[in-house]
Amino acid sequence: MIVIEGATKRYGEATVVDDVSMAVESGSMTVVVGQSGSGKSTLLRMINRLVEPSSGRVTIDGVDVSTVPGPQLRRGIGYVIQGHGLFPHRTVAQNIATVPRLLGWPRDKTRARVEELLALLQLDPKQFASKYPHELSGGEQQRVGVARALAAGPKILLMDEPFGALDPIIRLKAQDDLKALQRRLGATVLLVTHDMDEAFRLGDRIAVLNEGRLQQCGTPAELLLRPATPYVQQLVGSSDRSYRLLALTTAAEAVEAGPAEGLPGIDGGATLREALAEIVWRDAPALAVLAEDGKPLGRLSLQAILARGRPQ
């Protein structure tokens, strides 16, 4: 668990991060949202000591990070930045092997790990290991950046606008892949973005930062239903907050008992937002919710969906 207590960073007169306290649960994904200049990157960089707080402290599993030498601390924390920052003079394999090499892993172990990571990120080791970064597409570079951050098996991954340089179509896929990867590895991820949609897609919890101050840190539903400040309210938006709320629940979670014969089917893992779109499109009164094996779990009516799209 990462605990940030009263973290403050001043540069001369300017206070970039102002008395921020929050906690990030182990194995969860927390997204810090804010505009540029909100101090979100600075906050993130305090965790791996790329920035030293002016006051306050950060602990990881109870250990104050200021007691660990910076380079040693950073070798144990994955770090992914916007525009990936791959070493242009190193091959993909050498890039990924950066931290294992710093840690002095044996060559065989490093090589095996590199192949494992390439496969994990859906990059064919035979094809990609010996390529140079400039030979890769933006999406591939981004994945290599993630692989490099994961190389030594860190429990914590810090990501600073990791998808900022990707075009929108690849970005959605990259977000889904990251979420799946995080679940699979059980890693603690702290991700910084200015994109509220990205925050809602990815975050188990979302922290909103404005002008260096933490506005609210809570689950996506909490932000939508009980915004703590007018700034949060404005940020989550009133025009599509119902849709955002619907997107937080899956069809399987909202399923009702009852006959489902003859109704259009929907996958249990689909969100209620997708279910609503399906109902509108098919002009059906309800949907049959299907398990992964195709068996019906029950039904999902329009009323049930709509009821979930407003405060209860």
Partner 1 sequence: MTGALALRLAALALLLAFLFDPAAFAPVFAPLAQHGAPAIYSQASLLDLTVSHLRIVALATAASAVLAITLGILVTRRAGAEFLPLSRAIVNIGQTFPPVAVLAVAAPLVGFGEAPTFIALFVYGLLPIFENTLSGLQQVSPAVMEAARGAGMGPWRRLWEVELPLASPQIFEGVRLSTVIAIGTATIGSTVAAKGLGEVIIAGLLSDNTAFVAQGGLVVGVMAVLIYDAMGAAERLLLRRLGVLAD
Judged by beta carbon, residue 158 or residue 166, the one nearer partner 1 is 158
Binding partner 1 by CB under 8 A: which of 1, 3, 23, 102?
A: 102
With helix as H, strand as E and coil as C, how does the chain read?
CEEEEEEEEEECCEEEEEEEEEEECCCCEEEEECCCCCCHHHHHHHHCCCCCCCEEEEEECCEEHHHCCHHHHHHCEEEEECCCCCCCCCCHHHHHCHHHHHCCCCHHHHHHHHHHHHHHCCCCHHHHCCCCHHHCCHHHHHHHHHHHHHCCCCCEEEEECCCCCCCHHHHHHHHHHHHHHHHHHCCEEEEEECCHHHHHHHCCEEEEEECCEEEEEECHHHHHHCCCCHHHHHHHCCCCHHHHHHCCCECCCCCECCCCCCCCEEECCCEHHHHHHHHHHHCCCEEEEECCCCCEEEEEEHHHHHHHCCCC
Can residue 129 be called a binding residue for partner 1 (CB under 8 A)?
Answer: no
Instruction: State which of positions 35-64 bind partner 1 (CB under 8 A).
Output: 48, 50
Can residue 30 be called a binding residue for partner 1 (CB under 8 A)?
Answer: no
CB of 276 to partner 1, least distance (A): 41
Binding partner 1 by CB under 8 A: which of 9, 84, 113, 241?
A: 84
CB of 277 to partner 1, least distance (A): 39
| Candidate segments 14-22, 92-100, 115-123, 263-271, binder of partner 1 by CB under 8 A | 92-100
Can residue 269 be called a binding residue for partner 1 (CB under 8 A)?
Answer: no
Can residue 230 be called a binding residue for partner 1 (CB under 8 A)?
Answer: no
Binding partner 1 by CB under 8 A: which of 63, 87, 112, 234?
A: 87
CB of 158 to partner 1, least distance (A): 8
Can residue 126 be called a binding residue for partner 1 (CB under 8 A)?
Answer: no
The residues binding partner 1 (CB under 8 A) are: 48, 50, 70-76, 79, 81-91, 94, 98-99, 102, 132, 134, 145, 148, 158
